[in-house]
Structure 1
């Protein structure tokens, strides 16, 4: 069987140990400098303190970052398990020491905006940082799947993407389980763009939750308004997906990931607080210490859209929900001022 070295002991990367170990593989879980407590607790108790689950009793070895080179020795696969905030750390410290013959599989979702507004995904970013003579197989996971429910073995359907279908089939063989269903795609742009965008729009949909329950939290959650924002989010994501050059079928991943994110997790919390009337600063203070990738992707995507609009590639009025979210985060706009009329269309 295979040896899987996971760099970053975050929730999703650690949850992947369940199907991997069940298939008879060995997982070497390597903590970043921020994961020391996770690794120590895992080693002593087998418990993951942020995933809040017992990890598999057998098949996992725990390493602190100082032992990363030992953890890489003899590995068959390397998983990038850092959050988007740790991408540059991974690029600077880990990417250079991964041997060429070991494929990389990234769980990190997100995109970067270039000065001209072009959005690039993390596999593309990784490739741009490789030394000129290094040829590393870079792959990624996309799709609607929360770490908690993967650990609880709820049925999850994801997509592994990369340039080589045979490598993807090998990775699927390692991780597929009766509850973890894996599609394969060589459309890296499409898959990665699709799943990155959902965080920004999940924040937007969650505004309706907060508006319904009110500042004191005593109101009743409504669904018409959430559905309206959900539909507008899908429309805007579909347009962005086309601009990025991804296949239109990937909108299924966008919509699925948007759905699961609205129903639970950190992005729902920040969107709900904003909708309840808390300022962005107040909401962030309440969620102090929580990793909020939705803030990053919303800011980057809106910035990219504005740059593309300056170049005449898109029109700002095509992205009213995205820009409303960005204005809340970066310009102090009121969450309540959702531009509903901007979502109306006429079709002939």
Structure 2
């Protein structure tokens, strides 16, 4: 039995208590400053108010000020913050960690630099004084929290620089319904899964456009499929720019597939497609964490910087550029369909 301390009681981290607890490990779930109500509820009856699932009886729950008690003696630390908590994790959590204890995170996203290159969150945390000696790893792939909690078959990738650490982590997490591949291509895996939020917003525009024409509930799969295909094409090009292995596109495409079927990103894309302005859509979804806005903005900014340096062409990313126009320039949805057309001669 190992002791696993999860820092962040968000939906994905909390869902990961299911396979790990069922594997016989001691699970300690620590809330961030934003999770106080979640932890209070879990302490009462094990029901997670956001995940809408009852966690296993026997999991230990901690408020943020009790974090050091939860970390003491842990064999693994799991970071469960959203992309909005990346700096908090660096400043408030990393200094408390033992360099001999591996860290694995579920936070998806990347940070763009001035030259257009993208930095993964594990690399960002490793670049800090507190994180430079830590063994940082991450989880990527198509897996929604509620379906994992319901034990639907889920296939993900654990990535990090040390394969032995990854094998150890896999032994703790993998079950007959949670399937884990391993990769030392951190940039490739993290880039692929980060991009899905931006493009899921783009695909969801088609949902809103159909509803604008024919009423709420109308669905046309041709337009969604076209945007999905264009998204995979652009994600693959971005993966190449980042220096990730091409095969990692399976994690990004799979994650894109599950994301467009529900959740926050689908909501914002649908509202925009219906004709609502970005500001009004954000107002309607006030209080909802929208990581898609962050990653779309950062990725578009990175592509523009690379283009300025002659290392990319914005014309290769018409869907991304249009999403950026919508959320950062206030433009109306007007899918650039002809820009997606290609001509292939063998």
TM-score, with normalisation over the residues of structure 2? 0.98
CA contact (8 A) 2:197 2:265 kept: yes
Cα distance, 1:130 vs. partner? 3.1
Aligned pair 1:285/2:273, yes or no?
A: no
Measure the CA separation in 2 of the matches of 1:330 and 1:71.
41
* Alignment correspondent of 2:265: 267
Q: Over residues 47-99 of structure 1, what are the superposed CA-to-partner deviations in whole Å (9 max), with x where a residue is unaligned?
A: 100101101112x1000111111111000000110000000000011011110
Paired with 1:149 and 1:283, the residues of 2 have a C-alpha distance of 27
State whether structure 2 residue 89 is matched by structure 1 residue 76: no
Q: How many residues align?
A: 345
Q: 2:298 aligns to what?
A: 300
* In structure 1, C-alpha distance between the alignment counterparts of 2:130 and 2:336, rounded to whole Å: 46
1:221 counterpart residue number: 219
Residues 215, 277 of structure 1: 8 Å contact kept: no
The answer for the alignment partner of 2:238 in structure 1 is: 240
Post-superposition CA distance 1:286-323 (Å, at most 9, x none): 11111110000000000011111100100110110001
| Alpha-carbon offset, residue 219 of structure 1 | 5.6
CA separation of 1:131 and 1:57: change in aligned 2, threshold 3 A:
closer
1:153-210 Cα offsets, whole Å, 9 max, x none, are: 1000000000111111111111111110000111101000000000000000000000
Could you tell me which residue of structure 2 aligns to residue 347 of structure 1? Answer: 344
Task: Give the conservation status (yes or no) of the 8 Å contact 1:215–1:278.
Answer: no
Aligned equivalents of 1:20, 1:276: Cα separation in 2: 42
Q: Which moved more, 1:215-224 or 1:169-178?
A: 215-224
Aligned partner of residue 300 in structure 2, secondary structure: helix
Scaled by the length of structure 1, the TM-score of the pair is: 0.97
Q: For the residues of structure 1 that align with 2:265 and 2:314, how far apart are their CA atoms?
A: 24
Find the aligned partners of 1:215 and 1:293 in 2 and give their Cα distance.
Answer: 28
Partners of 2:119 and 2:90 lie apart in 1 by 15
State the match for 1:21 in structure 2.
21
Q: Is 1:103 the equivalent of 2:102?
A: yes
Please tell me the root mean square deviation across aligned C-alpha atoms, in Å: 1.1
* 1:11-160 aligned within 5 A: 11-58=11-58, 60-131=59-130, 134-160=132-158
Shift of 1:215: 7.3
Partner Cα distance (1:307, 1:85) in 2: 23
Q: Distance in 1 between matches of 2:103 and 2:127?
A: 15
Q: What are the superposed Cα offsets for residues 241-278 of structure 1, whole Å, 9 maximum, x if unpaired?
A: 00101000001111100000011111111101110111
Which residue is 1:196 aligned to?
194
Structure 2 gaps, min length 5: none
SS of the aligned residue for 2:127 comes to helix
Counterpart of 2:13 in 1: which secondary structure?
Answer: helix
* Structure 1 CA distance for aligned equivalents of residues 126 and 216 of structure 2: 49
Give the deviation of 1:217 after TM superposition. 3.7
Does the 8 A contact of 1:95 with 1:130 survive in 2?
no
Q: Could you tell me whether the CA contact under 8 Å between 1:104 and 1:137 is conserved in 2?
A: yes
